[in-house]
Amino acid sequence: MHDLPWQSLALNPLAAFGILLALGVLGGQIAVRVAKLPGITGYILSGLIIGPSGLKLLDQQLIDEAGLFIQLALGLALFDMGRRVDLRWLRREKALFATALLSGVITFLGLLALLTFSGFPMAPASLLAAIGIATSPVVLLELVRESRAEGQVTERLMACTGLNNLLSLTVFTLALSFTHFSAGHGVESFILLPGWLLLGSVLLGLVAGLLAIRLNVWLGGGKREAQTVLMFGLIALVVGLSAMLKLLPALAILIFGLATRNLERGYAVAEPSLSSRSSFFFVAFFVAAGAQLMPLPLAALWPSAVGFVLVRSLLAAGSWWVAARSNGLPPRHGALLGLGLLPMSGSAVMLMTMGALTLSAGAAEFSGFLLSVLCLTELLGPIVTRFALRCAQETRD
């Protein structure tokens, strides 16, 4: 006798995406209404509750199957963040460029020192410290959208996030090269592969940027809807292509956004407000991120994970506090900006996989530690960043 349809129920990717969205929205609303937390925290908590570490409504396979939407969300956010990096501004406002760069370098060195002091070998320590430079573009964009924050702290926070993601990906590639070198891998592993990752991603982003500008000029500003669909398409294409070519999708998309903002006639790519039209992708992204959180490693590694997060925040807040005046900000606002950099980048998991594959030994410790840190920053980051923007009086709520 055949099974009846309801006797062999299995979630497919679309149903998984639906669950991510529906439960995410409910969780977000509960967080906002009951606990006065940012909606993002609610989405992440929903994910944690229904994910493999909680009620197991979603397993890893289903999360992977909904990965298309999640990658697209990350792509949309990184593209938007790339557009926040205004090179004309950075050329004039060298203080911002120098502060973002120095703050990133100081964070990297501080984390590297902490990790090696805690007993990590140099290779995984450098990979972890490189990942620690970057702030999450998705969290920032969604928080700014949710709280309708506007002002210098918000603007500089965004520009700094774009820059620290670029720096993080570059340093990560170099650290990867160092890891291959330390492991005694061949030249192709420690020079050609990182070179391919870095230059290939930059090139793909630039070509996509040039193409987007040309096509938008051809479409004309009157075709706003067509422009928006085109940009969605190009972002999906760049994410897909960079995965196919085994590049760094995050870097390619960042450069893509940056190119459309800064290359000649880039204004033809009128602000498509892609991120504001993509909130359902972002909800799915955060629920999936929550579902992937693993509180167990945190239970074991919490002292060093807390140390990592504290050092990272203190160095960022300290750097920006010192540089506040040259950035035209009151020192308090500088410190708040540094604090707002807490959420860690959404592409960290992908980099973690890449890093773990390279590390012959210690891959498990490396991944476990990063998952513990992510568990902390994903839960605390949105709350701290919203607090910083509120204290700077740039939000509306």
For binding to another protein (CB under 8 A), which residues are involved?
Answer: 83-84, 86, 89, 92-93, 150-152, 155, 220-223, 261, 267, 270-271, 273, 328, 330, 394, 396
Helices (H), the chain: 13-33, 39-50, 60-65, 67-83, 87-92, 94-117, 122-133, 137-147, 152-182, 187, 193-195, 201-219, 224-244, 249-262, 279-291, 295-323, 331-340, 348-358, 363-391
Residue written as token pair 């999450």: 136
What is the residue whose two structure tokens read 């970057």? Answer: 134
Q: What minimum distance in Å lies between the beta carbon of 283 and another protein?
A: 23
CB of 266 to another protein, least distance (A): 11
Could you give the CA distance from residue 206 to residue 252 in angstroms, rounded to a whole number?
8
Which of 90, 253 has the CB closer to another protein? Answer: 90
SS3 135: strand
Q: Minimum distance from CB of 258 to another protein (Å)? A: 13
Q: Which residues of 230-265 are buried (b: 16+ CB within 10 A; e: fewer)?
A: bbbebbeebbeebeeeebbbbbbbbbbbbbbbbbee
Q: Residue 159 or 197: which CB sits closer to another protein?
A: 159
CB of 222 to another protein, least distance (A): 3
Identity of the residue, 56 or 92, whose beta carbon is nearer to another protein in the bound complex: 92
Judged by beta carbon, residue 164 or residue 313, the one nearer another protein is: 164
Q: Is 16 helix (H, G, I), strand (E, B) or coil?
A: helix
Q: Considering the complex, what minimum distance in angstroms separates the CB of residue 391 from another protein?
A: 14
Nearer to another protein, 48 or 159 (CB): 159
Output 83 or 180, the one with its CB closest to another protein: 83
- In the complex with another protein, the residue whose CB is nearer, 50 or 253, is 253
Output the six-digit token pair for 171.
């340093």
| CB atoms closer than 10 angstroms to residue 216 | 24
Between 156 and 312, name the residue whose CB sits nearer to another protein: 156
**Whole-number Å distance between alpha carbons of 302 and 202:** 36
Number of residues assigned to the chain: 397
Contact at 8 Å (CB) between 24 and 51? no
Query: What's the closest the beta carbon of residue 12 comes to another protein, in angstroms?
Result: 38
Question: Distance of CA 224 to CAs 24, 77, 141, 213, 265, Å?
Answer: 30, 20, 22, 14, 16
Which amino acid would we find at residue 174?
Answer: L
Q: How far is CA 201 from the centre of its chain?
A: 16
With respect to another protein, which residue has the nearer C-beta, 11 or 219? 219
* Rounded CA separation 261/252 (Å): 14
Given the structure tokens 């070519």, which residue do they identify? 245
Q: Going by C-beta distance under 8 Å and a sequence separation of 6 or more, which residues neighbour residue 308?
A: 111, 114, 115, 128, 132, 369, 373
- Identify which of residues 190 and 232 has a Cβ nearer to another protein in the complex: 232
Find the shortest distance in angstroms from Cβ 76 to another protein. 16
**Least CB distance to another protein at residue 256 (A):** 16
User: How far apart are CB 158 and another protein at their closest, in Å?
Assistant: 9
Burial of 55 (0-12, 13-18, 19+ CB in 10 A): exposed
Closest separation between CB of residue 174 and another protein, Å? 30
